Amino acid sequence: MKKTHKLYKYFLLSFVVILLDQAVKLLVHYNMDPGLAGEIKVLGSWLKIHYVLNPGMAFGLKLGSVYGKLILTLFRLLATVGIAYYMSLLVKRKAHTGLVWCVALILAGAVGNVVDSTFYGVFLNNAPAGSPTPWFHGQVIDMIYLDIWEGHLPQWLGGQYYALWPIFNIADSAIFLGVAVILVMQRRFFKDAEDKKQDNETNKDTTTPSTGTTAN
């Protein structure tokens, strides 16, 4: 019961993030025009709300081929199941709570984009033209536009024009935040797991009775 209660709070975080992600996406879809026509500047030209449909991966990346989207959606479905199972294992093994919170964020982000990919092609009719079926071909709604930098690289880097302006959503942000914190805090997160494993092995050795024999 205690394990179930602990696991519940992490799934609750995932659920709240998923609800927030979907609420924002639907608000954008029903109240904004796509592209520059409906763009809202939040912090000048640096941070904007910009409605765009993403048929591929996170941060505006795309997959080619007719079945690329289907493969990506199926992969996301499998990934969400794997992440949820991994999170339950972490709770069972009493892993660092910070690690579990991060995995909960990653799970929320994965589910949030899976909902778009699986259902939006049907219910929002946003599947790309030529898709074999609207199911599993929905386009992900992105809206957070960071216009970080654009210009020409130094000559020693080729001097080519380069633009760095990712467009993403709350689900992408949850995944990025979860992964980033794990990378930064990995020594602490996984050191605790190793320490607990060593403590358990030590306790097991000290509680194991000796099997020596006595002479008659």
Q: What is the pLDDT of residues 38-76, one digit of tens each?
A: 899 999 888 999 999 988 655 555 655 667 778 888 888
Q: Is the pLDDT of residue 207 over 70?
A: no
Query: Catalytic pick from 142, 147, 192, 195?
Result: 142
Q: Using an 8 Å Cβ cutoff, are 151 and 71 in contact?
A: no
**pLDDT for residue 191:** 83
pLDDT tens digits along 161-204: 777 788 999 999 999 999 999 999 999 999 866 666 665 566 66
C-alpha dihedral sign at 108, 89, 10, 98: negative
Query: Catalytic pick from 21, 116, 147, 172?
Result: 172
**Residue 33 falls in the annotated catalytic set:** no
159 vs 139 pLDDT, higher one = 139
**Residue 21 falls in the annotated catalytic set:** no
Query: From CA 35, how far away is CA 55, in angstroms rounded?
Result: 15
